[in-house]
Amino acid sequence: MSEKLRYPKREYNALSLFSGGGGLDLGAEAAGFTTRVCIDNDKACCETLETNKDFPRGSEKHFLAKAKILCRDIQHLSAKEILANANIEKSEIDLIYGGPPCQAFSIFGRRKGMEDPRGPLLLDYVRIVHDLQPKVFVLENVPGLETVGGGKIYNDLVDLLKKETNGGKFDVKPFVSDVCDYGVPQRRKRIIIIGSRLEVPITIPPSTHGPRENIGTYVGDILPYNTVGDALKGLPQVNSDKVPNHKTRTHSERIKQRYAQLAFGERDSKTRINKLDPNKPSFTIIVGSEHGGGKGHVHPYEAREVTPRESARIQTFPDDWSFSGSKRNVIRQVGNAVPPVFAAQLFAHILKKQFREKNVPDVDDLFRILGQEHLKH
């Protein structure tokens, strides 16, 4: 751990699109960006962001202290309105980041792509990036985006992002990452598309964690994967009020008996969810939809599904980051999110490599800022 937390001496202004429950936002702010506006059309997500806005984490960081939470449909927002709410000039935008809804492209959905009403929101992301011309943008989505529609949607998207508009052109680099390679106790692959106008080669953040049996084969200080056991360490008893969103579902005795008999990693035949292995990273947290689904995985030691807080631990949210809304909405916010620990390492890497910023928190600092000391080996 660094003796003194390093943060940039100037403000790097960021705009957040499709903010959801705040996973990318936490990562960007932990790394050293100052988010000026967060936009989402879901009222519960906006309430989550407002509830946690400017809430101190120790004495080092107040998250989203300068962000305006804008609860609007992005399809009906102009770039001019976004800029007015951010209260900065166009030339001051360093970063735009966001993850347009991924259900249209996810293997867990029906993969309707642009035929899904949420699919065209990708084009709104492109529109705003082209209109506002940030120095760098980050777009996050599911790997299924690459293959839906035979790959045409993905290829067209990348071509659109590269297209010269409004006097600017982005160098664009897509890559797929598994967040467990960055210390997140969960297997979760995501496609990241970075665009930059800074004429600096775009590079991928180096992995910090790897399989325990292969640690010796890596070059550098690679740590073993964090596991479910690491993630759940130190949490209070279920249904405790010491941390928010830590209430469990009520299960029948029949379900409890089935869950108790499952081996680690085994799938329940009825609910189609898996029992977590405490010695491995979690399966991907599943979001579900407005109509249901999104059940947590089965707890490794107790005959029940994990609570939203336990899922949030697996997603690397701080324990005091409180999610608003109905139980179903909370599960969706947690499951939709980019794990903050992964996002923080991505944005710190962008600050260092794209902006050539020297005062950036190191990996140990990022874990500490995000309240993930229980994951540090």
Q: What is the pTM of this model?
A: 0.92
CATH number at residue 357: 3.40.50.150
Please report whether residue 234 resides in a domain: no
Please report whether residue 250 resides in a domain: no
How many structural domains are present in the chain?
Answer: 1
| Residue 18: both structure tokens together | 């499709």
The catalytically annotated residue of 38, 45, 46, 102 is 102
Please report whether residue 6 resides in a domain: no
Please report whether residue 127 resides in a domain: yes
Name every residue whose Cβ is closer than 8 Å to that of residue 276 and which is 6 or more positions away in sequence. 228, 264, 265, 282, 283, 297, 298, 299, 300, 306
Please report whether residue 160 resides in a domain: yes
Please report whether residue 294 resides in a domain: no
Strand arrangement, sheet containing 12-17: 68-71, 33-40, 12-17, 93-98, 136-141, 189-196, 171-178
Residue 236 carries which side chain, given as an amino acid letter?
P
Domain containing 172: what range?
12-211+339-375
Contact 172, 137 (CB under 8 A): no
- The stretches of 53-120 forming alpha helices (DSSP H) are 79-86
Please report whether residue 3 resides in a domain: no
Tens digit of each residue's pLDDT, the chain (377 residues): 445 788 899 999 999 999 999 999 999 999 999 999 999 999 999 999 999 997 766 546 789 999 999 999 999 999 999 999 999 999 999 999 999 875 554 444 444 434 444 457 888 999 999 999 999 999 999 888 888 778 888 898 999 999 988 778 999 999 999 999 999 999 999 999 999 999 999 999 999 999 876 655 545 578 999 999 999 999 999 999 999 999 998 999 999 999 999 999 999 998 889 999 999 999 999 775 444 455 679 999 999 999 999 999 999 999 999 999 998 899 999 999 999 999 999 999 999 999 999 999 999 999 999 999 999 76
Please report whether residue 197 resides in a domain: yes
Q: Decide if 180 is catalytic.
A: no
Contact 310, 296 (CB under 8 A): yes
